[in-house]
Structure formats: structure tokens, C-alpha cells
Amino acid sequence: MPTTAQALKCFQLCCDLTSKYCSIDLITLDQRTGNVVILAREEINIEIDLNGEWRFV
């Protein structure tokens, strides 16, 4: 289960991506790290850690 910070940041990032007409291919929770992973298009990979901080991978 994602943390509240992860869920809020995921929603914000997904809204930002789709407002730029960028399709989202996959959103999943990495069971090993607990990070939320967003895959958009072929070149955008984002990880959101437990405290809501995100980064491109």
C-alpha cells in the first residue's frame, strides 16, 4: 500500500503528465523498495519514494 505522500505526489505527477498530452503506460508499487513507479511514453520513468520525493530514473 502506498503512503499518503506517495499517493498525493503520484496524482499530482499524473495530472501534470496528462495535461501535456503524455500518456501514462503503467503505475505500480515496487514491492522490493516500496517506491511507486510511473512509466509514461517510452522515455519517462519516475520513482516516488516513501516520503513523496520523486526522481527520474
Number of domains in the chain: 1
Distance of CA 56 to the CA centre of its chain: 9
- This prediction has a pTM of 0.92
Report pLDDT digits (tens) over 9-54. Answer: 999 999 999 999 999 999 999 999 999 999 998 899 999 999 999 9
The DSSP H or E segment spanning 45 is strand 44-48
Q: Residue 17 in contact with residue 6, Cβ under 8 Å?
A: no
Range of the domain at 31: 4-56
Cell 501514462 -> residue = 24
Report pLDDT digits (tens) over 47-57. Answer: 999 999 999 99
For residue 52, the 8-state DSSP code is S
pLDDT of residue 42: 85
Among residues 19, 13, 20, the alpha carbon closest in space to that of 45 is found at 13
**For 38, how many CA atoms within 13 A lie in the half-sphere containing its CB?**
24
